[in-house]
Amino acid sequence: MAQSPLLSKGRYRARLAVDQADLAAAQDLRSVAFQTSGTDHDAHDAACSHVLIEDLREQSRLVCCFRMLTMQGGAEIGKSYSAQFYDLSALETFEGRMVEMGRFCVHPDYTDPDILRVAWGAMTTYVDRNGIEMLFGCSSFAGTETGQYLDAFAMLKARHLAPKRWWPKVKAPHVFRYAARLRRKPDAKKAMLRMPPLLRTYLMMGGWVSDHAVVDRHMNTLHVFTGLEIGAIPPARKRLLRAVAG
């Protein structure tokens, strides 16, 4: 089944997966990017839309992918991937349409920043087409050791904790309660160097995070719950995103 792309910019094209072969390609890329022992897949894949970003100069090679689970409102938050790790009961009262963005990855052979721009442009197109009012997901730091990320976590504590009305509570058995434990003033340069690119983009748009990180040994990551209310994105940022999307 053919489908028009969400976005084409320069050498890259973003489109929705249309068949099992597309899904398998995304799972294969995830396996490479996340260095899993087998194919990266779970029960959420079947319920999600999958965005593929391809390099048109390399015979449409898949260079980035992510998945989106669309919900009509907060009452459905319990079926999200994130709900396995966080108590998201505060978000059950959110009334607008929501999308959980997950399994975001870029092929390790590629470092072009335009890939992230195209990904966010494609997400913007999807948000606008579908009337989405909140994006959320788990933003991951590589590895499970906290030491190298202390400035980044201190920055999250100082500037980016979730509003009390949406506060994600602890659910996972192994967590790093960085907001309670850290007393350091963050070194801004070190913090931004250690901040994952996807999370950095969320924060620049007004995103917020949980006060603790989950230690996910299965995926070999530390992750924080991340939310972004579309209505809270600064107008200048919206214009930039829509310029990319347009």
Q: Look at residue 165 and tell me if it is in a domain.
A: yes
Using an 8 Å Cβ cutoff, are 31 and 39 in contact?
yes
Instruction: Check pLDDT > 80 for residue 4.
Output: no
**pLDDT per residue over 230-244, tens digit each?**
999 999 988 888 888
Instruction: Check pLDDT > 50 for residue 171.
Output: yes
Q: Look at residue 33 and tell me if it is in a domain.
A: yes
Residue corresponding to tokens 């007393």? 183
**pLDDT per residue over 29-70, tens digit each?**
999 999 988 999 999 999 999 999 999 999 999 999 999 999
Q: Look at residue 58 and tell me if it is in a domain.
A: yes
CA distance 190 to 170: 27
Helix axes 235-245, 113-130, angle to 10 degrees: 100
Q: Look at residue 1 and tell me if it is in a domain.
A: no
Q: Look at residue 145 and tell me if it is in a domain.
A: yes
CA distance 206 to 228: 7
Q: Look at residue 30 and tell me if it is in a domain.
A: yes
- With CA atoms as reference, report the closest residue to 110 among 149, 58, 66: 58
**pLDDT per residue over 106-125, tens digit each?**
999 999 999 999 999 999 99
Give the residue numbers spanning the domain of 33.
7-245
Looking at the structure of the chain, the number of domains it has is 1
- CA distance to 173, 204, 240, per residue, from 89 (Å): 17, 26, 33
95: domain CATH number is 3.40.630.30
- With CA atoms as reference, report the closest residue to 54 among 103, 97, 8: 8
**pLDDT per residue over 186-239, tens digit each?**
999 999 999 999 999 999 999 999 999 999 998 999 999 999 999 999 999 888
Residue corresponding to tokens 């970003």? 53
Q: Look at residue 111 and tell me if it is in a domain.
A: yes
